[in-house]
Amino acid sequence: MISRSSLNWSPLSLLLWVSLVPILGCGGQLANQLANINIFSDAEEIKLGGEFSAKIEEELKIYADPHISDYINQLGQILARNSDRPNITYHFKVVQDDSINAFAVPGGYIYVNLGLIRFSHTEAELAGVISHEVGHIVGRHGMKQLTKQYGFAALAQLLLGKDKSQLETLATKVVTSGVLLQYGREAEREADTLAVQQMHSSGIDPNGIMTFFEKLLGTEKRQSTKIGKLLSTHPGTRERITRVNRQIQKLPVASYASVDSIRFQAIRKRLRNPE
Ligand SMILES: [Zn+2]
């Protein structure tokens, strides 16, 4: 597998390279490989992601209570700092939405629903889901998905173009089609694996992911409407529990600071009784 970090190409060099492919005579196989790699630089991803997140935020109600949003941002930043991609700026925002969900937009934008915070009984459970979303950013799953959907040449031309309205049009298309909510099973598994590693490195008990999944299993049947689209497209919850458990067993022994925090419980109380 070609590693993206060793191929930090700009769209221009990529277009040049693509034009050479038919001459080299390896188009078909190469096209398959390209579907799984992201060929955009961090700066290009951040530019696209900025457009998408601005468009998405026109549709969402961002929850403004600084007690809650500062807490979510600080928790997210700890996980991002301990990830394999700590060099970009991450933005964590709370969405006033009761469904149990969170999602990531390329470029480091992560949205956490109030429903998810309420559903989590411990900080480790909440951190588990946020860590999974950080995993999508680390794995560059959004950019891979966009490349698969629209083709790298079209995206590269958009990034090179001076016409900002074309970028805005794409952002609208991306938001309405929900293309960023369908990463595929492999990407979801990779995000789970990264989530466990990030939690371990952050000193937050990765078993929180397991207890969250267990609770989700119990809820899936009773209130499936409350479980957002994103979680419902993931691999089966039982399968995820088994994989995550296996990974945790292999981790070096660690004594995690806590599975909970006083601050998290204060946040939960605040959500129950808003001032
Ligand atoms: Zn996911």
Within 10 angstroms of residue 54's Cβ, the number of other Cβ atoms is 13
CA of 260 to the centre of ligand 1 (A): 23
The tens digit of pLDDT for each residue in 89-118 reads 999 999 999 999 999 999 999 999 999 999
Q: How far apart, in Å, are the Cα atoms of 172 and each of 54, 84, 126? A: 10, 30, 30
Q: Where are the domains of the chain?
A: 41-272
CA of 140 to the centre of ligand 1 (A): 12
Identify the pLDDT of residue 152.
82
CA of 74 to the centre of ligand 1 (A): 21
| Residues around ligand 1, an ion, CB closer than 5 A | 188, 191
CA of 188 to the centre of ligand 1 (A): 5
Q: How far apart are CA 146 and CA 204, in angstroms?
A: 32
Identify the pLDDT of residue 176.
79
The tens digit of pLDDT for each residue in 17-50 reads 343 333 333 445 555 555 566 678 999 999 999 9
CA of 154 to the centre of ligand 1 (A): 26
CA of 250 to the centre of ligand 1 (A): 23
CA of 133 to the centre of ligand 1 (A): 6
The tens digit of pLDDT for each residue in 117-170 reads 999 999 999 999 999 999 999 999 999 988 888 888 888 888 887 777 888 888
Identify the pLDDT of residue 98.
92
Residue type, 159: L
